[in-house]
């Protein structure tokens, strides 16, 4: 609210304190850190990411019980995919999963 009402500028450290950002890095490290995060996102399971984003977007607008049901429903849908089976097989075989978005 402070930011909206005053229009004042504030530092990255203050943005972190307010919860607007989860991490602050030095300017010279920014692209290295951004690429590292991008690599981690690309390596993650796409169907699980899609379901997580859906729950995160819709959940706050639902009653607590309904949000819980949505999350559990999405978890069950994702758990039944070929990618989930591949992820479990890859973990057992100690290799990286080869996900196909199915």
Write down the pLDDT at residue 63.
96
Q: 86: which residues sit within 8 A by CB, 6+ positions away?
A: 97, 98, 99, 100
Rounded CA-CA distance 30/23 in Å is 11
| Run of H or E including 87 | helix 82-92
Supply the pLDDT for residue 1.
80
Q: Which residues of the chain have pLDDT under 50?
A: none
CB 83 within 8 A of CB 66: no
What distance in Å separates the CA atoms of residue 99 and residue 87, rounded to the nearest whole number? Answer: 8
Is the whole model's pTM more than 0.95, yes or no? no
DSSP-derived 3-state class of residue 34: helix
Choices 1.10.12.10, 3.30.450.40, 1.10.3080.10, 1.10.10.2160: CATH for 45-102? 1.10.12.10
Domain ranges for the chain: 1-43, 45-102
Q: Give the tens place of pLDDT for each residue, 14-36.
A: 989 988 888 999 999 999 999 99
Return the residue matching tokens 């429903």: 73
Residue pair 74/55 in contact (Cβ under 8 Å)? The answer is yes
């Amino acid at each position: 609210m402070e930011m909206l009402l005053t229009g004042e500028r504030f530092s990255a450290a203050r943005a972190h304190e307010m919860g607007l950002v989860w991490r602050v890095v030095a300017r010279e490290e920014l692209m290295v850190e951004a690429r590292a995060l991008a690599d981690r996102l690309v390596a993650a399971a796409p169907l699980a990411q899609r379901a997580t984003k859906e729950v995160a977007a819709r959940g706050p607008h639902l009653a607590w019980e309904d949000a819980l049901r949505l999350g559990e429903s999405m978890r069950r849908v994702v758990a039944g995919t070929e990618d989930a089976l591949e992820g479990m097989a890859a973990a057992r075989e100690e290799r990286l999963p080869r996900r196909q978005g199915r």
